[in-house]
Structure 1
Amino acid sequence: MAFSHGTHSVVTLSRMEDHLDKQQLCDVTLIVGSKRIPAHKLVLSSTSDYFHAMFNHDLLESTQSEIELNDIDPEALDELVKYMYSGKLELREDNVERLLSTANILQLMVVVNAACDFLKNQLHPSNCLGIHAFADTQGCVQLQQAAREYTMEHFIEVTQNREFLLLPQEEVVKLFSSDEVNVPKEEDMFSAVLLWIQHDIEQRKSLIPELLSNIRLTHVSKEFLADQVQSNPHIYESLECQRQVVDSLMHHLLPERHPSLQSPRKSTTGQLFAIGGMDSGKGAATIECFDPRRNTWAVFASMTGRRLQFGVAVLDEKLYLVGGRDGLKTLNSVECFNPRTKTWNALPPVATHRHGLGVAVLNGPMYAVGGHDGWSYLNTVERWDPQTRTWNYVAPMWLSRSTLGVAVLNDKLYAVGGRDGSSCLRSVEYFDPHTNKWTNCAPMLKRRGGVGVGVCGGCMYAIGGHDAPASSQMSRLQETVERYDPSTDQWTIVAPMSVPRDAVGICVLGGRLYACGGYDGQSYLVTCESYSPEKNEWSFEACLNTGRAGTVVVHMKNSS
């Protein structure tokens, strides 16, 4: 018969601890400074890899009854020896770092991990930089990463604490050059530089040019550049700083001649909202929000009901949803969503019921362009005046268009492609609000219904869509992309997307074009990809939570 005593190990270890308390059968004494700590080699060797190696190899200490240890905290060692017998250890703010560093030496990894978890829970703007530096010296990679992430997330609060002011130059440069710093606007980074410099102005003022080069000056306002940066006496006295400021001001004055070589910091680019669309449940009634710093989409809010093939514009930091259809019925209703309060309000409706329309804001007013009223394709255009809160007709387009793309470029409103009832269109026209006229410009190279349109770097892009007659059941889906240059009135083909996307949501964020969702002929897509005009290539981004076609993707800046 096999017999097992369930509490054998606990009882045995308790007896060993009793022997230690009475200093019975102890066969080694650890000496740290003036402190003498008696113990049993068997217990030390069984719990610590450090002592296991010392007592079980041909080392001098394996035969000694007294062992002197250097560079170890005596109180921490005493507490850890007691832990080896009891399995109990009290971690406190005043002892955790001493215990962690000593446990690291003794290779008590269970204690090291427990101490790291304790410090993670203690992270605060006043200590995260110190914990990061400590974790680095101890080789605690996960703790170091946690402290870094906390620092980046709470950067503004961190800069208000003494640890930040005492940071060495190389660590400050790492912070200011990082793309992961969480600041609402780039101006905050300049303010943080001044804080650090002014703490020891005589020793640090020579570092201003290097630190200023890590501030993305082309992404601060020209007013801030002139009023706060250029006028600062330390910057005014530096020729190198003045050169940087002048280069940035030239970018603001003539961006087409002096393009920015700096990408915006991820946290300053704002957010994308993907609103509604068609999904496998015949209608996605949620709004998802994209955080570029974390590269994640998350459900942000719910819509008031089903709304498909509608238009959306951003006006006064609110989302305006216009028209669409709720299934079979074409709508003329307009709703306003406030992302700050997550509340909805009804607004005066457009005069014409419209689905498949395009919506954009041009120099203040919002325009509802084309679409289908349930019976016929539309060329009419309505303009919303936010001052009088009324819709009024402006000049109609030359062609009727539904599932078109609309965009604003060089103070003109462009209507791109779409369907006219018989076929998909190549034609493009633009509206000048000063003359109240539509003018035809160069047609696209391909016919595109359900086209996505975005403006980036002074050019307009027509992305995806389909090309098929209205009577055809077989749509030719497009993964192709073409770019329109208004200075030459020409379209050129650029790099294609990874997959065809009909009814794709397009928006610009951080100098890149994002293509979100769409329909590939078989399924509603969750995938998203972004396009770099400089590299002429597409890269995969985080996926939506819900596959959507016809989702409207808009950009909202960070609140001031």
Structure 2
Amino acid sequence: MADSKNGSQEDPLFSGLFDPTITSIPQGVSQPNPDIVPNAENMGVWKEETRMPIATAEMGVIACNGKVHVIGGYARGQVNSDYHQVFDPATGEWTLKAPIPYACNHLSMAAIGSKIYSFGGFIEQNRCPHSNCFVYDDDTDEWERIPNLLRPRGAISAVELNGQIHLLGGRNVRSVDWHEIYDPETQQYQLLNDMRGSTPTQPFAGQRCHMGAVVVDGKIHCIGGRKDSYDFNTGLHSVFDPESLTWSFRKEMPTIRSGHSVAYVNGKILAFGGEARGLVFEANESYDTKTEKWEIVAPMPVPRHGLHGATAAVIGNTVYVPGGAPITGGSVQGAYHDSFTFG
């Protein structure tokens, strides 16, 4: 597929990406904790990668077999696309693979070995959730249906832990605190208690969608997100222990946001991008699970939200960030693609 990295300003594929009012955000738009957040000693670096053939946002993003898969989402004027774009870091090229059988947005992905699992999503713009689920075999380039979600929803945070897939939060008609586990071996779902935890000062700890989630040292970290709309964003940082089946709370993410992505690399959790009312964030913050401290690292070159893959695509020590929206809402999708490393 042709390299789209050198798209011109006139190319509609890159609409909005060259507007300086979009590709930078005004000083002071972040909503930091009262504590001062220091710059990290190692700020890391961003690198521009080959741009996507089809500009996309609110899609599923996952790493599988050393490649980055971007599936579904908003694209080419539609909010329920079935595109399946794959980036190979070894060649710097994009290819198109078998489309997902059910076109939608805000679908949630997890990978185990050579297989990618897709759960739920919306068929309209951030609404009308469905319960359809599928598995993609990267070796055969084929999709198969798996059992539906027990309850339809989109914007779920999906992570793999010990061979099972945890499905956390999301939105049905409103944000939910549901926590269920899908077992690929038995093809069955197990319902767990909700995500609220036992801390009385966090009454809505679990009712979240559009949040980041990542596994570190056998525990699931759920960071940020929103309750119903981005007018009710949070920096909440909750942790699930699968041994005790309990939730606890850690230091909140400094920039309060939703629609962001998280990744775990070089011993740090990264949280970057996202949106609030009228704002799209370039902020990139790292959390050290040992010191329980947040630090500021190199900001995104192009602020974006709708990167959806609650967990970003990590290959080796590199975080790949394709697509997303450079303005709030769903009117513009981005073909921009860059990567982050700590160097």
TM-score range, shorter-chain basis? 0.7 to 0.9
Secondary structure of 2:120's aligned partner: strand
TM-superposed CA distance for 1:279, in Å, is 7.4
Give the Cα–Cα distance (whole angstroms) in 2 for the partners of residues 415 and 366 of structure 1: 14
Partner residue, 2:223: 463
Q: Following superposition, which runs of at least 4 residues in structure 1 exceed 6 angstroms of deviation?
A: 278-284
In structure 1, the gaps of 5 or more residues are: 1-275, 285-291
Counterpart among 312, 317, 334 of residue 61 in structure 2: 312
Instruction: Specify the code of the residue in structure 2 equivalent to 1:535.
Output: T
Give the Cα–Cα distance (whole angstroms) in 2 for the partners of residues 407 and 474 of structure 1: 23
Is 1:283–1:307's contact at 8 Å kept on the other side of the alignment? no
TM-superposed CA distance for 1:280, in Å, is 9.4
Partner residue, 1:517: 273
> Which is bigger in relative contact order (C-alpha 8 A, separation at least 6)?
2
Instruction: Specify the code of the residue in structure 1 equivalent to 2:293.
Output: E
Secondary structure of 1:535's aligned partner: coil
Partner residue, 1:376: 128
TM-superposed CA distance for 1:329, in Å, is 3.4
Is 1:456–1:512's contact at 8 Å kept on the other side of the alignment? no
Distance verdict in 2 for CA 1:293–1:317, change over 3 Å: farther
Is 2:107–2:122's contact at 8 Å kept on the other side of the alignment? yes
Secondary structure of 1:298's aligned partner: strand
In structure 2, the gaps of 5 or more residues are: 1-13, 24-40, 197-204, 319-343
Partner residue, 1:555: 314
Partner residue, 1:490: 246
- CA deviation digits over 1:75-100, x for unaligned, max 9? xxxxxxxxxxxxxxxxxxxxxxxxxx
Is 2:109–2:158's contact at 8 Å kept on the other side of the alignment? yes
Partner residue, 1:480: 236
Is 1:336–1:344's contact at 8 Å kept on the other side of the alignment? yes
Distance verdict in 2 for CA 1:558–1:546, change over 3 Å: closer
Bigger radius of gyration: 1
Instruction: Specify the code of the residue in structure 2 equivalent to 1:466.
Output: R
- CA deviation digits over 1:232-276, x for unaligned, max 9? xxxxxxxxxxxxxxxxxxxxxxxxxxxxxxxxxxxxxxxxxxxx9
TM-superposed CA distance for 1:283, in Å, is 9.6
Is 2:79–2:105's contact at 8 Å kept on the other side of the alignment? no
Partner residue, 1:264: none
Give the Cα–Cα distance (whole angstroms) in 2 for the partners of residues 348 and 461 of structure 1: 32
TM-superposed CA distance for 1:387, in Å, is 2.9
Do residues 354 (structure 1) and 104 (structure 2) align? yes
TM-superposed CA distance for 1:474, in Å, is 6.7
Counterpart among 114, 128, 143 of residue 391 in structure 1: 143
Is 1:322–1:368's contact at 8 Å kept on the other side of the alignment? no
Which of the pair is proportionally richer in helix? 1
Give the Cα–Cα distance (whole angstroms) in 1 for the partners of residues 72 and 121 of structure 2: 9
TM-superposed CA distance for 1:376, in Å, is 2.8
Give the Cα–Cα distance (whole angstroms) in 1 for the partners of residues 179 and 119 of structure 2: 13
Do residues 302 (structure 1) and 61 (structure 2) align? no
Do residues 336 (structure 1) and 86 (structure 2) align? yes
Counterpart among 423, 437, 458 of residue 188 in structure 2: 437
TM-score using structure 1 length: 0.46
Instruction: Specify the code of the residue in structure 2 equivalent to 1:407.
Output: V
Matched residues, number: 271
Counterpart among 233, 258, 262 of residue 502 in structure 1: 258
TM-score using structure 2 length: 0.74
Partner residue, 2:95: 345
Residues 154-165 of structure 1: pairs in structure 2 closer than 5 A: none
Instruction: Specify the code of the residue in structure 2 equivalent to 1:362.
Output: I
TM-superposed CA distance for 1:388, in Å, is 2.5
Partner residue, 1:88: none
Is 1:279–1:524's contact at 8 Å kept on the other side of the alignment? no
Partner residue, 2:73: 324
Residues 209-288 of structure 1: pairs in structure 2 closer than 5 A: none
Do residues 428 (structure 1) and 184 (structure 2) align? no
Is 1:279–1:547's contact at 8 Å kept on the other side of the alignment? no
Which of the pair is proportionally richer in strand? 2
Instruction: Specify the code of the residue in structure 2 equivalent to 1:337.
Output: F
Distance verdict in 2 for CA 1:303–1:414, change over 3 Å: same
Q: CA RMSD in A?
A: 2.4
